[in-house]
């Protein structure tokens, strides 16, 4: 579903309801400018029940890396940790490919990053759904 497309800066996992307001306050402390990013490669995370196919970047975007560091620093004060940042947009889950990803052309797709959001991830009628519960515009 198109409205589920997103790029995760920091995965928080299970969050207690009482932790939401401190997370929002931490995100309020993040100041950064708007910037452009481009995605130009396909990849996959292998799973037993089918792969997760994603659209990513073949090189690091310095603005995205700096924004990730700022968000991690603020959330780190609350005890959240991120192991590795692999920026990507999930295109499909439980995918069984009939051909190798290398044979599929991924033309560059560019977009402007204008805000950060805190998202709730939940299953609604057995469909993974993302709901924005907070957003902050970048300047």
Task: Specify whether 139 is catalytic.
Answer: no
Angle at CA 81, nearest 5°, toward 2 and 137? Answer: 45
Of 71, 74, 88, 113, which is the active-site residue?
88
Of 4, 5, 6, 120, which is the active-site residue?
6
CA distances from 21 to 17, 18, 25, 123, 125 (A): 8, 7, 6, 23, 27
How many angstroms from the chain centroid is the CA of residue 112?
A: 14
Active-site residue set: 6, 88
């Amino acid at each position: 579903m198109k409205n589920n497309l997103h790029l995760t800066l920091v995965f928080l996992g299970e969050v207690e309801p009482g932790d939401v307001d401190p997370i929002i306050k931490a995100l309020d402390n993040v100041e950064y400018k708007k910037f452009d990013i481009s995605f130009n490669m396909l990849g996959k995370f292998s799973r037993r029940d089918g792969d997760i196919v994603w659209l990513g970047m073949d090189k690091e975007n310095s603005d995205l890396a700096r924004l990730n560091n700022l968000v991690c620093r603020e959330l780190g004060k609350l005890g959240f940790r991120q192991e590795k940042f692999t920026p990507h947009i999930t295109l499909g889950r439980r995918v069984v490919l009939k051909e190798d990803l290398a044979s599929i052309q991924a033309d560059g797709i560019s977009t402007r990053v204008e805000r950060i959001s805190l998202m709730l991830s939940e299953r609604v009628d057995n469909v993974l759904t993302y709901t924005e519960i907070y957003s902050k515009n970048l300047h």
